[in-house]
Chains A and B, each alone.
Chain A
Amino acid sequence: QVQLTESGPGLVHPSETLSLTCTVSGFSLTGYSVYWVRQPSGKGLEWMGRMRYNGDTSYNLALKSRLSISRDTSKNQVFLNMNSLQADDTGTYYCTRDWTGLDYWGQGVMVTVSS
């Protein structure tokens, strides 16, 4: 069955880099696009960027200078790297599959930016 699982550090210090991994199963990264979405605590959803099935990427313009999304298809993994983290980057980070809508989501990983 289709699954997406986010993993990464729960705590990141200000100005450091966040590295998250989305490990997928039940589908191929060469057939489906994967998005990253985040949600500050108590706030709404924010689209961060995507890794398309063909390897192309696109990003939220507000995050583009800090954000990089990549993948390893042999390991069924999509990666998110975002630098220069600040307190307002605290929140839950999700990866999600795009097919007819965002039909499967990971459980999310909570990231806190604090010294």
Chain B
Amino acid sequence: DIQMTQSPASLSASLEEIVTITCKASQDIDDYLSWYQQKSGKSPQLLIYDATSLADGVPSRFSGSRSGTQYSLKISRPQVDDSGIYYCLQTYSSPFTFGSGTKLEIK
């Protein structure tokens, strides 16, 4: 299985910061990487697909990037509503695997 190592496990940020969450794949996944936001008691929502493409309706303050086998989700000037848990998912090779999640609090 491909392992996705996600970090940090949790973070707290202010409205003026840039938030970065990373997922490192245990092997090349050729940009088959998506990011999801989950709020308490709700289903996950797609933010980014194919590593860098913004999903429909997602604010432009969210962006995705890649460096080697490390993928990053960046939130520029986050809003309070961006608080939640964020997950990455690799769909390069079955069985597909999620990262362990990052709990984000925006103060």
Contacts and interface: CB of A to CB of B under 8 A. Distances in A.
Contacts of A46: 98
A102 B98 contact: no
B95 A60 contact: yes
A106 B91 CA distance: 19
A102 B34 contact: yes
Nearest to B50: A100
Interface of B: 1, 34, 36, 38, 43-46, 48-50, 53, 55-56, 85, 87, 89, 91, 94-101
A61 B3 CA distance: 13
A101 B48 contact: yes
Contacts of B34: 101-102
B95 A102 contact: no
30 contacts: A35-B96, A37-B98, A44-B87, A44-B99, A44-B101, A45-B36, A45-B38, A45-B44, A45-B98, A45-B101, A47-B95, A47-B96, A47-B98, A94-B43, A94-B44, A98-B91, A100-B49, A100-B50, A101-B49, A101-B50, A101-B55, A101-B89, A102-B36, A102-B44, A103-B46, A103-B49, A103-B56, A105-B45, A106-B43, A107-B43
A59 B95 contact: yes
Interface string A72-115: 00000000000000000000001010101111011110000000
A58 interface: yes
Contacts of B44: 37, 45, 94, 96, 102, 105
A88 B99 CA distance: 19
**Which 10 residue pairs of A and B lie closest in terms of their CB atoms, listed nearest first?**
A101-B49, A105-B43, A101-B34, A58-B94, A44-B101, A101-B46, A47-B96, A45-B98, A100-B49, A60-B95
Given A58-B95, A105-B44, A100 B55 contact: yes
B99 to A, nearest CB: 8
